[in-house]
Structure 1
Amino acid sequence: MYHTIPEMKTKHIAMWACPRSRSTAITRAFEQLDDCTIYDEPLDGCCFVNAFTDQGEIDYAADYLSRHADTNYSSIVKKLTGDLPEGKSFSFQKHMSNHLLPEFDRSWLSEVKNFFLIRNPRETVLSYYKARTASGFAWEEWESRVGWEEHYQLFKEIEHLTQKIPLVIDSGDLVKNPRDYLKLLCSKLGVDFSEKMLNWESKDTKILSWENTTFETFSEKVINSTGFFQEDQEDINIPDILEPCIDKCMPFYDEMSKYRLIV
């Protein structure tokens, strides 16, 4: 039988996501809270130096490391689980599940409040494909990094570690009713909802931008946004080349979707 995890005095919230699941938009919502400190993909640089080894990836080292100079896993984890900056009452950590490499220790995950963000793979895979190819990358070299298998594996690992099914939210549900959904999500996470989470100033972010890097187009649309939005349906036209990848990802989404938060 699952047991209840004791309430933590210091709140550290870890959101685990796949690429293109609207994780940046949700992070922008939490960025509006004055008592929240944001850690945007803090394991990215560490993952890069440990996993990306071919010359094509090394060419982009400066772009990765300009945002995440600390690549020491132990010191990153200490920050993610340690004392908060002055004036802050909790941290909101945006993580990609595939940044948590198999050799990385997971024990710290029991010290944070974890939740998983999902979005239909027909949308995430298409969006990832568009972002990669628009930046000049070959899809065949990046298809394996859509992240769904790692996402589901981590979901099961945290379930086993905490003896509790992690909270799951579907961004497709959230964008249809952001106010009520964020209110419920904040309640589940143990933080106060604010109306400020629903809107923000275009480009007014200090930490969520890949500006002046190879990956600038990846977050351009959400950085220029002023709130949550849904893509036009005419954009959801799936090239045949993506169908095998989507078919592989869909069972992971379907399984996690069973546990998603319903408003």
Structure 2
Amino acid sequence: MAFTDHILEYLPQGFKHVFLIRDPTQVYKSFRKGACKFLHEDDVDIIQFNPAEIRPLAWYEQQHRLWKYVQQNLDPHPIIIDATDLATNPREILKGFCDAVGFPYSDSLLQWSPSHEFPNNFVTAGENLSKTMAVFYSSALSSTHFNAPTVQGSLPRDQLTDDIIKCVDYSMPFYREMYGERMQVS
């Protein structure tokens, strides 16, 4: 049974559901870099590195399965936002998102203060878990605005390790289908 099977019954009805996607080469390379920092290792196989049974190989399959469930049972047109589109064109993507969900748009959404109090103010199930995992979120927590990625699209395979390639090859069909349905603005 997949992770998503356990949560389907708890998904609320009457809401606009939103999915954030990102190119798998970018996700898995970033995750691998964070895993190496987390373990203080130079080389970590992300398929074998599996704290709390997170199963990185299945991430996109699970997200795709959840998206299909939402489409068929809760919201025939959930919103899909690609992270690169958002970071590259935040004003237009956020305006489109706000319009789609009925929120007012403001340019104040394009900037924010860094989250220096995190992880101290974050409640987790495990002692010091948020501090331990902060290595994965340090850039986001210190950010103040959207930054367009320096590399857009998939990374070349020669820049990926075998574990990343295995995850990407398995994940790409799920990502591509969702990417084809993503929010686009003109």
With structure 1 as the length reference, what TM-score do the two structures score?
A: 0.55
Displacement of 1:130 in angstroms is: 1.2
Taking the aligned partners of 1:212 and 1:129, their CA distance within structure 2 comes to 18
- Say yes or no: does 1:246 pair with 2:168: yes
**Alpha-carbon distance change, 239 to 231 in structure 1, aligned in 2, over 3 angstroms:** farther
User: Which runs of no fewer than 5 residues in structure 2 stay unpaired?
Assistant: 123-127
Higher share of residues assigned strand = 1
Q: Equivalents in 2 of 1:211, 1:221: separation in Å?
A: 18
> What are the Cα deviations for residues 139-195 of structure 1, in whole angstroms up to 9, with x where unaligned?
213372351111000001111112513111111111111111111111001101111
The one-letter code sitting in structure 2 at the alignment partner of 1:123 is: Q
2:49 partner SS:
helix
Pair 260,141 (structure 1): closer, same or farther in 2 beyond 3 Å: same
Q: Which residue of 1 aligns with 2:139?
A: 221
Contact 2:112 2:145 survives alignment (8 Å): yes
Q: TM-score under structure 2 normalisation? A: 0.76
Query: Which of 82, 88, 93 is matched with 1:170 structurally?
Result: 82
Q: Larger relative contact order (C-alpha < 8 A, sep ≥ 6)?
A: 2
Quote the RMSD (CA, aligned, Å): 2.7
Equivalent residue in structure 2 for 1:126, among 4, 26, 29: 29
Output the CA distance in 2 between the equivalents of 1:212 and 1:149.
26
Cα pair 2:16 2:75 within 8 Å, conserved: no
Change (3 A) 1:104 1:200: closer
Matched residue count? 164
Asked if the contact 1:109–1:158 (Cα under 8 Å) also holds between the matched residues in 2, the reply is: no
Q: Which residue of 2 aligns with 1:259?
A: 181
Identity of aligned residues (%): 26
Structure 1 gap segments, 5+ residues each: 1-97
Task: Please point out which of 90, 98, 103 is paired with 1:191.
Answer: 103
Letter in 2 for 1:118: I
Decide which moves more: 100-109 or 129-138: 100-109
Residue number in structure 1 paired with 2:55: 144
